[in-house]
Amino acid sequence: MAKIQDDNILYTLLRPFIDHHLRKAFRRYKVVGQENIPHNAACIFGANHTNTLMDALVLLSMNSEKKVFIARGDIFKKPFIAKLMHFCRILPIYRIRDGFKSVKDNNAEIIDKAADVIHDNVKLFLYPEATHRTKHSLRQLSKGIFHIALEANRQFGHEKPVYIVPTGIEYGDYFRYRSTALISFGKPINVTEFVDQHKDENEAVIMNGLRDLLAERLASMISFVPDNETDYEAIWELTKIKSGLKGSLEERLQRNQKTIKEILDFKEREPEKAEKLFEKVNKFIKKRKRKGISVTSVTKKNIAATVLWKTLVTILGLPLYAASAVATLPIWLVTMILKNSFKDKAWGNTVSFAVETILHPILMLLCIILTFCKLPWEAALASTVFCYYSYMYFVDFGEFLRRWMSDVKWMFNKKLKDF
């Protein structure tokens, strides 16, 4: 029987196409810390889970290496979906909420398959939080990743060490297509060594130790507000206002982490003052959102100058924006309809990526056929270039317009600025 990690011609042909469109889905996309990934070892990657299927896609597309993923078992209920998932190199893992029978009947086999994946030097990716959530935090990690790591160590830890590699995914925005993505690989956990150091402990104690270690390292790689923090919204608002958007993705992450630490330290030192501040910030958030003002506008030091240059750019860019809107109407219209059908707004980016990946090549093909048949080759070539970049321009300039309108509202809202 074929293994999930075995070569597949169709999969191999589709991978560059998917990777290309994934990179187009972000204005900035960066991978750091790859020097932390052990060589000549069995590696399991544990990542935070915030953005549905995009979390897998950003990891898949970081390089051309073979990868296998694990997703929650309830997705695999329908035979067609199960076959599609297997083709995409995604294994199921079942949780107690899926039924004790599902866990008992299936997980032992899945864990063996997962161990075989990393034994073949194929990278295995899991999301130990078990479900996605659009928050800069972490749920308590489930034990699936540690069951796999310990089973792999039992089977072949004497041949080569087994590692869990903490993997942080930091998005500029969970809901907006063409935002930013930063993938960070942290200091790996040597499971083989950890088990050897805790020989006198039972498996449950070892597993809890590994879980605490992974949770600690994951928290250090993202903009992390503790999950039990009741003032999450206020803390994150203050973090965005103070940290701003300047600099590289790594610099922004470091500023966020520093700011969050300062806020939490302030709360611990002066809880009463912090409570009053958070209460005021929460009121500010409600007023800001009601006025349709982005927090990015609040971070601007010279809002008048910002509005002036953005107004000039708006006037110059609007004609091309209108042309792009017409040229890409099928993409953004279908995207809008599908996104509105999802109750969970976290699926928005996945939908945007899927629609663009399917429809944009069709529009490109139509453009090439029609223009090269009807126009001189110079005009046809120019039309093809425009067609290729039009949707990216449409999305990016649309976001520029949204922020420009927000800046205008912020500039003239004296009450909110004095709040």
Please state, in angstroms and rounded to a whole number, the distance separating the CA atoms of residues 89 and 153.
Answer: 22
What pLDDT is recorded for position 392?
A: 97
SS3 content of the chain, % helix, strand, coil (to 5): 65, 10, 25
Q: Which residues contact 347 (CB under 8 A, 6 or more apart)?
A: 52, 53, 339
Write the pLDDT tens digit of every residue in 56-97. Answer: 999 999 999 999 999 888 888 888 888 888 999 999 887 656
Label the pairing between strands 189-190 and 26-32. Answer: unpaired
Q: Which of 46, 54, 53, 50 is nearest to 23 (CA)?
A: 54
Residue 37, token pair as written in the block? 């990934």
**Model pTM score:** 0.93
Distances (CA, A) of 401 to 307, 310, 311, 313, 315: 11, 9, 9, 10, 11
Reply yes or no on whether the pLDDT at 223 is more than 90: yes
User: In the structure, what pLDDT confidence band is assigned to residue 387 with cuts at 50, 70 and 90?
Assistant: very high
Share of the chain above pLDDT 70, in %: 97
User: In the structure, what pLDDT confidence band is assigned to residue 98 with cuts at 50, 70 and 90?
Assistant: low
> Under CATH, to which class is 9-219 assigned?
alpha beta
User: In the structure, what pLDDT confidence band is assigned to residue 103 with cuts at 50, 70 and 90?
Assistant: low
Q: What is the mean pLDDT of residues 305-309?
A: 96
Burial class (CB in 10 A: 0-12, 13-18, 19+), 135: middle
Please state, in angstroms and rounded to a whole number, the distance separating the CA atoms of residues 11 and 18.
Answer: 10
Residue 280: count of CB within 10 angstroms of its CB: 12
Write the pLDDT tens digit of every residue in 118-159. Answer: 999 999 999 999 889 999 999 999 999 999 999 999 999 999
- ∠ CA 381-382-388, rounded to 5°: 90
What backbone phi and psi angles, to 5 degrees, belong to 175? -110, -15
Reply yes or no on whether the pLDDT at 104 is more than 70: no
Please state, in angstroms and rounded to a whole number, the distance separating the CA atoms of residues 314 and 404.
Answer: 8
User: In the structure, what pLDDT confidence band is assigned to residue 53 with cuts at 50, 70 and 90?
Assistant: very high
Residue 271, token pair as written in the block? 């809880």
Q: Is 161 left (phi over 0), alpha (psi -120 to 50) or beta?
A: beta
Please state, in angstroms and rounded to a whole number, the distance separating the CA atoms of residues 244 and 267.
Answer: 21
CB of 178 closer than 8 Å to CB of 54: no
Write the pLDDT tens digit of every residue in 190-219. Answer: 999 999 999 889 999 999 999 999 999 999
CA 166 to chain CA mean position, Å: 15
Ranges of each domain in the chain = 9-219, 232-290, 298-417
CB of 114 closer than 8 Å to CB of 148: yes
Residue 184: count of CB within 10 angstroms of its CB: 23
